[in-house]
Amino acid sequence: MKFCSSCGAAVTLRIPEGDDRERYVCSACEFIHYINPRIIVGCLPVHEGRVLLCKRAIEPRHGLWTLPAGFMENGETTAQGAARETWEEARAKATNLHLYRIFDLPYISQVYMFYRCELENGAFGVGPESLESGLYAEDEIPWEELAFPVVRETLRDYFRERDSGVFPVKITGLEYQPRPPSSTQE
């Protein structure tokens, strides 16, 4: 951030009065520009024991597999956002949504929220941000080609808890995990 989005003057990084951390403050109109964490909402869609995964057509992690998820938009609930992303990425209608896994990713200032859900009529397709999509049983999942640690953790937890039929909502803090070189796994 270099310029004030309100008046167009230059901003400076300083600690406003009464605050305890640096903010971008406008040198002309004194407007304080706060930058806050963002929420990523997604679904773990299950149909007849299989989970819907999408192969990413965009960066980051182009060509790796993910659960449908993306940035939450203004004016929607987390569940609405998760269902919207499921439609956008996998052309699937999410039904019977239940909040399931939440992840803190403080090193990139993101909070992930995944919902368990079902697929209306078991139908799905391929949205513009995906190369392909498909339903995978536990032993068919491309575990070594998953795009993000949050996806792996959510899938792992789901298959571990599935037999019990009890899926408590849980929040987990993840630390930065560098991707090993010359491998698609992280």
Least separation in angstroms between CB 92 and a copy of itself: 17
Using the contact rule CB under 8 A, the part of the chain among 18-26, 46-54, 140-148, 176-184 near a copy of itself is: 18-26
- Which stretch of DSSP H or E encloses residue 33? strand 32-33
> How far is Cα 68 from Cα 121, in angstroms, rounded to an integer?
18
Does residue 12 touch a copy of itself according to CB under 8 A?
no
Compare residues 38 and 162 and give the one whose CB is closer to a copy of itself: 38
Closest CA relative to residue 33, chosen from 48, 20, 23: 23
Strands 50-56 and 69-71: unpaired
Compare residues 135 and 150 and give the one whose CB is closer to a copy of itself: 150
Compare residues 29 and 123 and give the one whose CB is closer to a copy of itself: 29
Does residue 122 touch a copy of itself according to CB under 8 A?
no
Is residue 104 helix, strand or coil?
Answer: strand
Subset of 31-50 contacting a copy of itself (CB under 8 A): 33-39
Does residue 161 touch a copy of itself according to CB under 8 A?
no
CB 51 within 8 A of CB 37: no
